[in-house]
């Protein structure tokens, strides 16, 4: 560049990676040569695997030494890091109809098809696409047809549904920022998140916050003027409704401090739980609402939610359980579980490295797990059938095992278990021979293809995999991607029953896009005494932290530490996995 770079923007490596990936998509949408798009994809992938300081590389003009970073891409990254902007990206964005990016969210509709629709029918938006489908304009279109048209229409309906909700992780990021700013405000006495976020729902519609204040009007003005706010839809002294820059809506309820616990309980919900609470209060001659707990005209003073529950002859019910799914009956009988929490987790399974499609080395993943305070980690790269993810061949498995042996010597007492994420083939078998499967400490069986099988066939496929003597646990049991892909059709109750019968573990995949096993099914798994492994499915060192999302869902699924595999200590885990290897075919529980 013409001048020496002396100041740098706050652009991070992660930001650059996202922008490179966006450029790749935009190039595909514009109908560019696929090799050009692939160059940006490869550059993003190689940057993700980069372990050394990215900003220093740019400052020292050594980024072009990274594999896949050619002169043209290097110049664009330098411009982006130096200025915080990229003219090439803005040019690409302006050349593509904005609706095309939204159309990419429709299942089964990729860049090439979107470009074809634009070229042949001039379709720029999802609305135009839906109209064209209703007019059967895709039926005779080359590369489409009636089946594709029907699938696109179904995808549009799901997109409409999904667009009303956000992943928990996305909403929580915005909510934490708002909560922090309210906590620091001198006009706030007490503040808490409420609604579905506080109940740890896997997806949420909006952000609910309850605060108590003696200066409601001033607090309302402060909240409405926060930098995160893009627009204000309602503003009073008891409620402020805003839309954030990220597009999600947020409501702040402002109450007097004596009303705070009652408002928090009410606005946490769920509606069904609140209805059951009102019924319980009525049976005891009481009335409960967001303003207080009443006996006739007397407002019974409560300083906390715990006190409110106490007046209803109940112990405190954690927010995650408030779904009217038996929590009040269990509380009354003293049968509420002591829910698992982060300090109970001793180790992490389902971890990928750059041996397959992970971004970081085995050593880096081990170091990150140790920094988290873990006692052990279970490495499980992809198996040979997952060729698209660099699945491991025999010689690569042997190489990895040798490295793990050396790392175990150097990192004691921390321990690395040797594992694999082995694909379940369509016939239910795993994709390695027994002699290879025998070499692992644990095997995670997983479905990554053939999602469209009929329910009975899919159920039998997974049940056969669970009967395999080498299977330790089943990954992401329903294959769902929240707000993106529906679960494959499977009889999950039969799967849980089979896991109970053969003593297999079911994964609660903590990736915020999965959170699979669903919390409702965790409740049934617990009843059947099936162990649950809360796994991050980490493909990078930062991905290990996703386990926190899994813990929230585990709590929502009524799981205690004793229900979760990775709450075992290292010694207990060694004994557990050793016993499984020595008694693989044993049926543990009878129906």
User: Pairing state of beta strands 249-255 and 292-295?
Assistant: unpaired
From the CB of residue 165, how many other CB atoms can be counted at a distance below 10 Å?
A: 19
Report how far residue 299's alpha carbon sits from residue 277's, in angstroms, rounded to the nearest whole number: 17
Homologous superfamily (CATH) for 99-162: 5' to 3' exonuclease, C-terminal subdomain (1.10.150.20)
Judge contact between 65 and 36, C-beta under 8 A.
no
- Report which DSSP code applies to 496: H
Residue, of 586 and 211, whose pLDDT is higher: 211
Q: Domain 345-582: which CATH class? A: alpha beta
316's CB contacts (< 8 A; 6+ apart) are: 305, 306, 309
pLDDT(589) > 70: no
In the structure encoding, which two tokens stand for residue 487, read together?
């679960």
Count the residues in the chain.
591
* Residue 590's pLDDT band (cuts 50, 70, 90): very low
Q: What is the DSSP string of 36-60?
A: HHHHHHHHHHHHHT--S-HHHHHHT
Which pLDDT value is given to residue 4?
36
Could you tell me the pTM of the whole model? 0.81
Q: Do domains 99-162 and 256-333 have the same CATH topology?
A: no
Report how far residue 106's alpha carbon sits from residue 448's, in angstroms, rounded to the nearest whole number: 20
Structural domain boundaries in the chain: 13-95, 99-162, 256-333, 345-582
Which pLDDT value is given to residue 591?
28
Q: What is the DSSP string of 323-339?
A: TTSSHHHHHHTT----B
* Residue 521's pLDDT band (cuts 50, 70, 90): very high
SS3 531: coil
Residue, of 429 and 68, whose pLDDT is higher: 429
Which pLDDT value is given to residue 261?
98
Mean pLDDT of the chain: 92
Report how far residue 588's alpha carbon sits from residue 445's, in angstroms, rounded to the nearest whole number: 19
Report how far residue 426's alpha carbon sits from residue 201's, in angstroms, rounded to the nearest whole number: 33
Homologous superfamily (CATH) for 13-95: DNA polymerase beta, N-terminal domain-like (1.10.150.110)
Average pLDDT of the residues in 273-293: 96
Domain 256-333 has CATH 3.30.210.10: yes
Residue, of 5 and 81, whose pLDDT is higher: 81
Rg (the chain; Cα; Å): 27
Average pLDDT of the residues in 291-318: 96
């Amino acid at each position: 560049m013409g001048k020496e770079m002396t100041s740098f923007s706050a652009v991070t490596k992660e930001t650059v990676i996202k922008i490179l990936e966006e450029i790749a998509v935009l190039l595909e949408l514009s109908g560019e040569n696929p090799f050009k798009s692939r160059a940006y994809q490869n550059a993003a992938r190689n940057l993700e695997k980069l372990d050394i300081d990215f900003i220093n590389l740019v400052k020292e003009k050594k980024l072009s030494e990274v594999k896949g970073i050619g002169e043209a891409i290097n110049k664009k990254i330098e411009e982006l890091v130096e200025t915080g902007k990229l003219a090439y990206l803005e040019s690409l964005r302006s050349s593509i109809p904005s609706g095309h990016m939204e159309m990419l969210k429709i299942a089964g509709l990729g860049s090439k098809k979107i470009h074809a629709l634009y070229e042949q029918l001039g379709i720029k938006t999802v609305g135009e696409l839906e109209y064209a489908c209703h007019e059967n304009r895709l039926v005779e279109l080359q590369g489409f047809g009636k089946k594709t048209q029907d699938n696109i229409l179904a995808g549009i309906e799901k997109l409409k549904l999904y667009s009303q909700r956000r992943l928990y992780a996305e909403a929580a990021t915005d909510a934490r920022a708002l909560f922090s700013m309210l906590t620091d405000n001198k006009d706030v006495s007490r503040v808490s998140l409420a609604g579905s976020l506080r109940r740890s729902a896997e997806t949420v519609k909006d952000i609910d916050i309850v605060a108590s204040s003696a200066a409601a009007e001033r607090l309302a003005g402060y909240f409405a003027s926060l930098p995160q706010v893009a627009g204000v839809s309602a503003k009073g002294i008891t409620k402020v409704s805003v839309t954030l820059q990220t597009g999600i809506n947020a409501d702040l309820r402002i109450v007097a401090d004596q009303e705070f616990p009652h408002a928090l309980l009410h606005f946490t919900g769920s509606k069904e739980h609140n209805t059951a609470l009102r019924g319980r209060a009525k049976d005891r001659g009481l009335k409960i609402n967001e303003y207080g707990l009443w006996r006739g005209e007397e407002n019974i003073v409560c300083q906390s939610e715990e006190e409110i529950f106490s007046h209803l002859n109940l112990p405190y019910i954690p927010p995650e359980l408030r779904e009217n799914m038996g929590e009040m009956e269990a509380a009354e009988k003293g049968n509420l579980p002591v829910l698992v929490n982060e300090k109970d987790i001793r180790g992490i399974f389902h971890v990928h490295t750059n041996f397959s499609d992970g971004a970081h080395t085995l050593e880096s993943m081990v170091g990150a797990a140790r920094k988290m305070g873990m006692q052990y980690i279970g490495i499980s790269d992809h198996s040979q059938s997952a060729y698209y993810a660099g699945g491991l061949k025999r010689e690569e498995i042997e190489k990895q095992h040798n490295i793990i042996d050396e790392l175990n010597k150097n990192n004691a007492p921390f321990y690395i278990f040797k594992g694999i994420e082995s694909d379940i083939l369509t016939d239910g078998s795993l994709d390695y021979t027994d002699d290879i499967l025998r070499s692992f400490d644990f095997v995670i069986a997983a479905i990554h293809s053939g999602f469209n099988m009929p329910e009975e066939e899919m159920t039998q496929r997974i049940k056969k995999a669970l009967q395999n003597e080498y299977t330790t646990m089943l990954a992401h049991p329903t294959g769902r991607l929240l707000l993106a892909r529906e679960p494959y059709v499977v009889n999950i109750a039969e799967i849980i029953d089979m896991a109970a019968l053969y003593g297999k573990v079911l994964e609660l995949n903590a990736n915020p896009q999965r959170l699979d096993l669903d919390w409702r099914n965790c409740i049934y798994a617990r009843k059947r005494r099936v162990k649950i492994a809360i796994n991050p499915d980490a493909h990078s060192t930062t991905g290990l932290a996703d386990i926190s999302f899994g813990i929230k869902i585990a709590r929502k699924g009524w799981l205690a530490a004793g229900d979760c595999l990775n709450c075992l200590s290292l010694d207990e885990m060694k004994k557990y996995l050793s016993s499984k290897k020595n008694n693989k075919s044993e049926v543990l529980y009878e129906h």
